[in-house]
């Protein structure tokens, strides 16, 4: 049985272009990018080429790109680094952030910082006026994600940035789920820090980037070397960076066409589900979201059971964030937008990618109809 993948927000398959870029480095460019000899300088050239490719995708300067071990590390580096560079103060974030932002915010609370978590309504969109209202004289950082990993909602980052710029407060944005799906221009957005991850962009796991606008103060969170201009010690993952660079260039060339195609497939899936299966609905805003993401509730169905039922039929989907899989509590994102615990647990995330087709979407809709009917039937008899 062929298995079909509808969980691209968790991770993506590695694109051939990214795989080939990594393979060249693994096989031929094995020097340490910090070494001054021929082999080291060959690695350095690959690293800097990748830095330029990623900078071009987000309209940044190459010197503002810092390689990390992934999106989570980039988020931690930004939140902890800015806060600790200023001493004690106040931080603003939202209730629907990824744990990679909520976690360091909670740690800073333990260190004596105050944290305001701005609420969102049923749309799953942060109101910029709520950010403005939360500002204090001692606010040292605002961190709001660009696109939500579970429901796909896109936040009004440019409007929030105007407010933070006016107040003289740095703005960090977790852009892990936005990169490659919607245009990202860090200069036009007005952000000071922007986190991204390779494995959400058809490149390997274990490499990410933090964009740091020139002049942004950041205390180091790790120690042991002067790599990446002192921001991230440790020998750089050159094969991973090269693959990320190749994937970034691919995204720059294909994003607009792919986004339109995936949005049409997502809409096709939602229409089929809502028309054919009772007790269903789309969570969050249907309009202001990434083109590949749909989060749908199926009343009377346990989400984990539906994931298993669909997997047995050959479809990979998820109940929400992969980082939280196995959690017994319902999604904090879905409860934050007003869903009951039961409805949150009955919700599924479908995230499409480059290889998905209309035929696969139609087959998924058929499998959903059959699986939901079966699960509802056995729950009645249980």
Closest alpha carbon to 54 in 270, 326, 224, 249: 249
pLDDT of residue 323: 52
pLDDT of residue 329: 85
Alpha helical stretches, state H, the chain: 16-27, 38-58, 71-86, 99-110, 128-134, 157-167, 186-189, 238-276, 303-312, 332-336, 341-345, 358-381
pLDDT of residue 381: 62
Q: Which residues are tagged catalytic?
A: 323
Domains of the chain: 4-12+255-381 (3.90.1150.10), 16-250 (3.40.640.10)
Q: Which helix (H) or strand (E) holds 65?
A: strand 65-68
CB 171 within 8 A of CB 155: no
pLDDT of residue 231: 87
Tell me how far apart the alpha carbons of residues 10 and 170 are, in angstroms, rounded to a whole number.
28
Tell me how far apart the alpha carbons of residues 229 and 214 are, in angstroms, rounded to a whole number.
12
pLDDT of residue 362: 98
**pLDDT tens across the length of the chain (382 residues):** 789 999 999 999 999 999 999 999 999 999 999 999 999 999 999 999 999 999 999 999 999 999 999 999 999 999 999 999 998 999 999 999 999 999 999 999 999 999 999 999 999 999 999 999 999 999 999 999 999 999 999 999 999 999 999 999 999 999 999 999 999 999 999 999 999 999 999 999 999 999 999 999 999 998 998 898 888 989 899 999 999 999 999 999 999 999 999 999 999 999 999 999 999 999 999 999 999 999 999 999 999 999 999 999 999 999 965 554 455 689 999 999 999 999 999 999 999 999 999 999 999 999 999 999 999 999 776 5
Tell me how far apart the alpha carbons of residues 260 and 290 are, in angstroms, rounded to a whole number.
10
The label of the residue with tokens 């789309």 reads: 282
């Amino acid at each position: 049985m062929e298995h079909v993948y509808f969980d691209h927000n968790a991770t993506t398959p590695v694109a051939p272009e990214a795989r080939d870029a990594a393979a060249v480095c693994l096989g031929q460019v094995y020097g340490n990018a910090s070494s001054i000899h021929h082999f080291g300088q060959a690695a350095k050239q690959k690293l800097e080429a990748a830095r330029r490719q990623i900078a071009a995708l987000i309209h940044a300067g190459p010197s503002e790109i810092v390689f990390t071990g992934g999106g989570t590390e980039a988020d931690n580096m930004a939140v902890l680094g800015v806060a600790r560079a200023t001493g004690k103060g106040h931080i603003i974030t939202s209730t629907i952030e990824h744990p990679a932002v909520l976690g360091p915010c909670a740690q800073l609370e333990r260190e004596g910082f105050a944290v305001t978590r701005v609420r969102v309504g049923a749309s799953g969109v942060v109101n910029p006026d709520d950010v403005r209202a939360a500002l204090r004289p001692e606010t040292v950082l605002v961190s709001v994600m660009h696109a939500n990993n579970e429901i796909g909602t896109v936040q009004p980052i440019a409007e929030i940035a105007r407010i933070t710029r006016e107040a003289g407060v740095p703005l960090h944005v977790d852009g892990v789920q936005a990169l490659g799906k919607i245009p990202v221009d860090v200069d036009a957005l007005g952000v000071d820090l922007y986190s991204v991850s390779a494995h959400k962009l058809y490149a390997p796991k274990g490499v990410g980037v933090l964009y740091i606008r020139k002049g942004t103060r950041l205390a180091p969170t790790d120690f042991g070397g002067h790599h990446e201009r002192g921001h991230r010690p440790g020998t750089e993952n050159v094969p991973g960076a090269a693959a990320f660079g190749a994937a970034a260039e691919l995204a720059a060339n294909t994003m607009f066409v792919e986004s339109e195609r995936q949005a049409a497939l997502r809409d096709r899936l939602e229409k089929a589900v809502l028309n054919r299966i009772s007790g269903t609905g789309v969570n969050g805003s249907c309009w202001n979201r990434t083109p590949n993401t749909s989060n749908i509730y199926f009343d009377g169905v346990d989400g984990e059971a539906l994931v298993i039922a669909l997997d047995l039929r050959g479809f990979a989907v998820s109940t929400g964030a992969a980082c939280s899989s196995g959690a017994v509590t319902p999604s904090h994102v879905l409860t934050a937008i007003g869903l009951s615990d039961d409805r949150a647990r009955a919700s599924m995330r479908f995230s499409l990618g480059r290889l998905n087709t209309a035929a696969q979407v139609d087959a998924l809709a058929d499998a959903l109809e059959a699986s939901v009917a079966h699960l509802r039937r056995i729950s009645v008899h249980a």
